Amino acid sequence: MMRRASTCLALLGAAVLGLPAAASAAPTVTFKAKVVPVPKNLSKKGGPTWPGTGNILGKPAAVEAQFTIKGNEYPTASEGFTEGTELGVGPAPLRRVTVYLPKGTKISTKGFKTCPISKFENHLEPPCPKGSEASPPGEAGGKVFFGKTAVGEKVLVQAYFSPGGGLTFWIEGKTPASIEKYATGGITSASGPFSRKLTSNVPLIETTSGAPDAMAEQIKVTVGAIMKQGKKLMSYGTVPTTCPKGGFPVKAELAFGGGEESSWQKVTKTSTTPCPKK
């Protein structure tokens, strides 16, 4: 009777406070965004960039997005993992990332080559057509499981143009786990201080059967590409022609979870990129 009374009081307290009785904490996210020049060679990191691109009003540019994710809410015993599995070692699996771009940003895939989903389903064999890259190689880091033990892993993340105007992100890891996955993304319109948003749906990554899914803890990706037609540069992204006081607003929404979407934890973060110098 005493235990039942305590449980009732706990549920009543949760209801009064407007909190779910069994809520789990969401990961802590840090988000930074920068407007940067467009790299000339998208097949490798670094290298020269196209002149006259970057944080310049009305000019071609790329966007560099960087995320740091911290948490200790995954995995849990309630999710049915076997005895001895390391619990609470990282954030819940990342399932979706949506980045909102400032009002006036122009996005165009006209003229760019595309890479069909079948290439990713066949593990990029043969590779995507040259010129279909939408970003240079980026990277992500986190934890994967080998049986009951969590270990660190880094993966390559690179964007390609997909048919219909969207993007596909190729995810490849070599050690300690072999990972070959892809995330699908689409560009849609947004409202308020934003004009476009890019939504990427991230797959669950299970390294061994029955083990917890991979956990993302750092992501750094630069999206932007240029195609040259004669002397004219055709850019995937173009900076707005005006900049609001205080800088360009950028917003990111991240969703975490291993089950149905209704159970995902959502985190929203904002960032501001400086206005171009006159």
In tens, the pLDDT along 176-196 reads: 999 999 999 999 999 999 999
Buried b (16+ CB within 10 A) or exposed e, 53-86: bbbeeebbbbbbbbbebebebbbeeeeebeeebb
10, part of any domain: no
Q: What is the pLDDT of residue 16?
A: 36
32, part of any domain: yes
Q: What is the pLDDT of residue 68?
A: 98
82, part of any domain: yes
Q: What is the pLDDT of residue 81?
A: 82
Q: What is the pLDDT of residue 13?
A: 37
Report the distance separating Cα 69 and Cα 74, nearest Å: 13
Report the distance separating Cα 252 and Cα 167, nearest Å: 17
Q: Is it the case that residue 14 has pLDDT exceeding 70?
A: no
**Cβ neighbours of residue 76 under 8 Å, at least 6 residues apart?**
24, 87, 88
Q: Count up the domains in the chain and report the number.
A: 1
Cα radius of gyration rounded to whole Å, the chain: 21
Are 19 and 65 within 8 A, CB to CB?
A: no
19, part of any domain: no
Q: What is the pLDDT of residue 230?
A: 82
Longest CA–CA span in the chain (Å) reads 82
Q: Is it the case that residue 12 has pLDDT exceeding 70?
A: no
3-class DSSP state for residue 245?
coil
11, part of any domain: no
Expressed as residue numbers, the domain containing 60 is: 24-273
87, part of any domain: yes
**For 120-170, how does the pLDDT look when each residue is reduced to its tens digit (9 = 90+)?**
988 776 689 999 999 999 999 999 998 889 999 999 999 999 999 999 999
Tokens 């070959």 found at: 180
88, part of any domain: yes
106, part of any domain: yes
Are 179 and 155 within 8 A, CB to CB?
A: yes
| Identity of the amino acid at 216 | A
